[in-house]
Amino acid sequence: MNAQPFGLSKGINDQEIMDTSDITPDVRAIRSLFDAWYRAMQDADVASLMLLVTPDVIVKPPGAPPISGKDALEQVLTGFLETHSESVDYDVQEVEVCGQLAFARIRESATILPSSEEGAVSVHGMHLSILRRQPDGEWRLARDISSLIDTAPNPYLITSLSPYSDSYCCCIR
């Protein structure tokens, strides 16, 4: 089955709304969380991003050590979004809910542009995200691992970075 996204899940700039009559409220909420995530990334809104994660969040960018905890993730995202902008098209390809946990598989294509507007980098990747239902019933991102796919070697990619680096996800210099 080819899971089709709805709303912004086809990409921030694609407002096509699809039939969602067979989507459960939990799946709809999780897809909405990713819509909010990518919108906040585009808007460089770190405060909104932090509302979407658990305090013990762990994010594993490609080629880099894990970023553990909300405070560390906030530092990394702040540094990245102060020095870069990005345009992302994404597709939430699968969402499965099992009790208080859920996972989502997301494919994304991003163009990362340094503030100097020189040396844009295009990357394509996959995310496997684990979400946890909070006591208030809201879903939050608890774990995320991402990988780069279909990406030609690029001089801006870094093979290692500290969890407090000023880069995120695409690991660009």
**Tens-place pLDDT, residues 115-134:** 877 778 888 999 999 999 99
Asked whether residue 61 is assigned to any structural domain, the reply reads: yes
- DSSP one-letter string for 16-80: -----TT--HHHHHHHHHHHHHHHHHHTT-HHHHHTTEEEEEEEE-TTS--EESHHHHHHHHHHH
Range of the domain at 20: 7-149
Global confidence as pTM: 0.75
Asked whether residue 163 is assigned to any structural domain, the reply reads: no
Asked whether residue 156 is assigned to any structural domain, the reply reads: no
**Tens-place pLDDT, residues 23-54:** 899 999 999 999 999 999 999 999 999 999 99
Q: What is the CATH number of the domain that holds 142?
A: 3.10.450.50
Does the pLDDT value for residue 9 go beyond 60? no
Domain count, the chain: 1
Asked whether residue 167 is assigned to any structural domain, the reply reads: no
